[in-house]
Amino acid sequence: MFRPQVEGAENIPGTGPVILAGNHVTFIDSIVLPIVCDRQVSFIGKDEYVTGKGLKGRLMAWFFTGVGMIPVDRDGANGGVAALMTGRRVLESGQMFGIYPEGTRSPDGRLYRGRTGVARLTLMTGAPVVPFAMVGTDKLQPGGAGMPRPGKVTVRFGEPMEFSRYEGMDRDRYVLRAVTDSVMAEVMRLSGQEYVDMYATKAKAA
């Protein structure tokens, strides 16, 4: 249905912990990403996706669990910490963890400022960051809602980024911002999106 074209898949290490960090333009990004990766990808999702009632709720829970989603109450008081610690556990077990540094879907197709969770994860675990870009998923599912339509999607993976030079500095906010901005610059290069130096959540609230 999506006919995904994959570029740079060889940049994903075959073993060991890896952070996949990329743009987020529509809901189906989290469906396409696991499809195009040879390794299992775990990522955070809203717990409501697996707590629904009835047949629809059970089917959703089966599907999202199957594609590697780990449910977390991200809206709770400690949602950010829970998401970070979940990612850390995945990486420390030698697996691959997917993250959208923007923190939410782009409201208008542009690339927004990244949150520093991706930097904290790479500095805490030593896992390399492989930037990626989803291109075309917004055309298949405009607005991020409703049934997606058939079309062509491209997923581009960049070369692994490692930040061992900042080892032990995962509490330095200047280092966290520099690492995050470096990752987002690569995502922008891969996606071709216009960059906006503000958080997507702030843009949505405006």
- pLDDT tens profile 89-122: 999 999 999 999 999 899 999 999 999 999 999 9
What is d(CA 20, CA 67) in angstroms, rounded to the nearest whole number?
Answer: 15
HSE-CB for 88 with a 13 A CA cutoff: 14
pTM for this predicted structure:
0.88
Q: How far apart are CA 23 and CA 84, in angstroms?
A: 18
Rg (CA), the chain: 16
Write the pLDDT tens digit of every residue in 61-100.
777 777 677 767 656 555 578 888 989 999 999 999 999 9
